[in-house]
Structure 1
């Protein structure tokens, strides 16, 4: 695979014992899809689809009106959300991605309450009826912050890959958003550099995450 910003990645020829390796646009590694464009859109789409499929398999429990909603939300949190958030530590939660994830979160709640789309109930009403708040994005950010702090604290190859500099000139156009950009904003940091310095301290990082969980929605 060649990871490139170009619409058509360059062709490569690699042989092992006179056998040419097949070039792929994407492949699954440790359960996560890696794409040649370097984006995580395909992986997030796959995660959403898999979590919805599992929800439908467990609909007899999750949509059971005779079971307390709090218990059903607990089942959702234990069995469905882990499928959705698998590998989210490296996701880039852009504005578009956040909208899709929040829509998925509401999709779960609406079906748990058996609310048809024809009812046209606002999201705020659904959240009120289920006695809950939007929490999915904060959960993802918390996992990202914890993972980032772990990398910064160890200062090994992962640290170098995250903070290192690339040689050469960058391509034309606007820079792609990075995982650290949204994470720094969520933690209330002015810049990525400031976030790196602060997250190296375990106690400080825990306080930052706790504060962001209460107030952060970015």
Structure 2
């Protein structure tokens, strides 16, 4: 794909579409189950910018900010919001099923917790992204599909 993505004879819009169609699905494989920490988010944003810089043939030694690269590509950062949207739709689906997946996702299984700092749960990250307050509010919102879809659409519009 390098020859297609770096070809100056192909418009930037077409190259971006090729990136979205062929590269991003590979990058986002199984992203519905990820817990995105600040460190992971930084790595994903850096990867997105790396692809754009390669596409525009901008050297890493060139003193161009990410904002100017985004302007040249006529785009904004979309990868994190796409991942979060996929996570939210998958989470709503799992919560409405009320089966074993529901228990695993919410972390309401019996047993001892491991020592040390506990890992962030998927629901905590989603509740923070959706600005739902507590994770229980987000779980309750999944029961009403219209409300859940509205919450997701509002979060995507805000671009967080």
Calculate the TM-score normalised by the size of structure 1: 0.70
In structure 1, the residue matched to 2:55 is 112
1:84 aligns with 2:27: yes
Q: Is the 8 A contact 2:103 2:109 kept in 1?
A: no
Q: In 2, distance between residues paired with 1:200 and 1:187? A: 15
- CA distance in 2 between counterparts of 1:156 and 1:166 reads 12
Question: Where does the alignment leave 5 or more consecutive residues of structure 2 unmatched?
Answer: none
Name which of 59, 75, 97 aligns with 1:154.
97
Structure number having the greater helix percentage: 2
Q: Deviations over 1:147-193 (max 9, x none)?
A: 00001111122112223534344344322111111111111110111
Higher RCO (Cα < 8 Å, 6 or more apart): 2
Query: Is the strand fraction higher in 1 or 2?
Result: 1
Query: Residue 96 of structure 1 aligns with which residue?
Result: 39
1:208 aligns with 151
Rounded Cα–Cα distance in structure 1 between residues aligned with 2:41 and 2:81: 11
Structure 1 residue 59 corresponds to structure 2 residue 10: no
User: Which shows bigger deviation, 157-166 or 128-137?
Assistant: 157-166
| 1:185 counterpart residue number | 128
Task: Please say if residues 152 and 196 of structure 1, whose CA atoms lie closer than 8 Å, have aligned partners that are also in contact.
Answer: yes
Q: CA deviation at 1:84?
A: 0.3
My pick for the range that moved more, 95-104 or 159-168, is 159-168
- In structure 2, which of residues 119, 131, 138 is the aligned counterpart of residue 176 of structure 1? 119
- Alignment TM-score, normalising by the size of structure 2: 0.94
Residue 207 of structure 1 and its aligned partner are, at CA, apart by 0.7
Max Rg structure: 1
Cα distance in 1 between the residues matched to 2:86 and 2:110? 30
Matching of residue 137 in structure 1 with residue 80 in structure 2? yes
